[in-house]
């Protein structure tokens, strides 16, 4: 079955790098995603990675995937106060549904 | 295109009443999804459509929940005989291929 786990909280200082981690259990995952949610808002797609890749970079965002360990991470370089939000990891299986973790609340300290 | 839209954004109702939410997907997206998000949790998948066909509905929370997409464009989610436990954010997403784009959600409060 599907199970996606994330740590609940992360605090970093402005300008530092943030690393948000995620583990998942379904080895048949085809794509893995990172979404950002600000208070009272919907989910904003940040980036995603196909399961046969191990890294993807998009401006300040770097995604690393270790398929053997079923571990996904999101690194945000030069973290800004506007990056404070909840970050969700999600996996897509063959059924085209997304299964989400509980989210990591990132707090950026000025 | 302005993205996925949902109406209403907020709904307060009394226990036992029926509610209906609407989702307008990004035009030309053939897939439409409904999720529920409760406080402190990630979204939970409910159902999805490819065009007008509802391809997965086994995860709808009970037979009080139903969804339609009659012409393959907008969709509605109805909850009958609402209960206090139905209070949550209801999110809609649409996609053409592997990326799902979410709307702002409808926040439901059942008193």
Over residues A8-67, the pLDDT tens digits come to 999 999 999 999 999 998 878 889 999 999 988 889 999 999 988 999 999 999 999 999
**Nearest CB partner across the interface for A97, out of B4, B45, B102:** B45
Strands B106-110 and B10-13: parallel
Looking at residue B91, its pLDDT comes to 97
At B27-67, the pLDDT tens digits run 989 999 999 999 989 999 999 999 999 988 888 888 999 99
Residue A1 has pLDDT above 60, yes or no: no
Concatenate the DSSP letters of all residues of chain B into one string. Answer: ----EEE-SEEEE-TT--EEEEEEPPTT--EEEEEEE-TTS--EEEEEEETTEEEE-TTSSSTTEEEE-TTSS-EEEEESS--GGG-EEEEEEEESSS--EE---EEEEE-
Question: How near does any CA of chain A get to the CA of B16, in Å?
Answer: 26
The pLDDT confidence band at residue B85, using thresholds 50, 70 and 90, is very high
B40: which chain A residues are within 8 Å (Cβ-Cβ)?
102
Q: How many CA atoms lie less than 13 Å away from B87 in the CB half-sphere?
A: 10
Interface test with B, best of A93, A98, A101 (most B CBs within 10 A): A98
Looking at residue B1, its pLDDT comes to 55
Contact B102 A102 (CB under 8 A): no
Interface test with B, best of A29, A97, A100, A101 (most B CBs within 10 A): A97
Residue A93 has pLDDT above 90, yes or no: no
Looking at residue B87, its pLDDT comes to 97
């Amino acid at each position: 079955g599907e199970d996606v786990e994330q740590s609940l909280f992360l605090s970093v200082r402005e300008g530092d790098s943030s690393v948000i981690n995620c583990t998942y259990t379904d080895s048949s995952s085809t794509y893995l995603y990172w979404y950002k949610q600000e208070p009272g808002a919907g989910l904003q797609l940040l980036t995603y990675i196909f399961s046969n890749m191990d890294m993807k970079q998009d401006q300040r965002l770097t995604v690393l995937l270790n398929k053997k360990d079923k571990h996904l991470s999101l690194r945000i370089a030069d973290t800004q106060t506007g990056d404070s939000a909840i970050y969700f990891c999600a996996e897509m299986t063959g059924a085209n549904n997304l299964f989400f973790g509980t989210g990591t609340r990132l707090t950026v300290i000025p | 295109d302005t993205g996925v839209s949902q109406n209403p954004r907020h709904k307060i109702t009394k226990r036992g009443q029926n509610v209906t939410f609407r989702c307008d997907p990004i035009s030309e997206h053939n897939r439409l999804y409904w999720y529920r998000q409760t406080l402190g949790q990630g979204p939970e998948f409910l159902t999805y459509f490819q065009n007008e066909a509802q391809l997965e509905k086994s995860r709808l929370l009970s037979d009080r929940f139903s969804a339609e997409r009659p012409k393959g464009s907008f969709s509605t989610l109805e909850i009958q005989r609402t209960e206090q436990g139905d209070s949550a954010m209801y999110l809609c997403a649409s996609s053409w291929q592997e990326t799902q784009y979410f709307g702002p959600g409808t926040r439901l409060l059942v008193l």
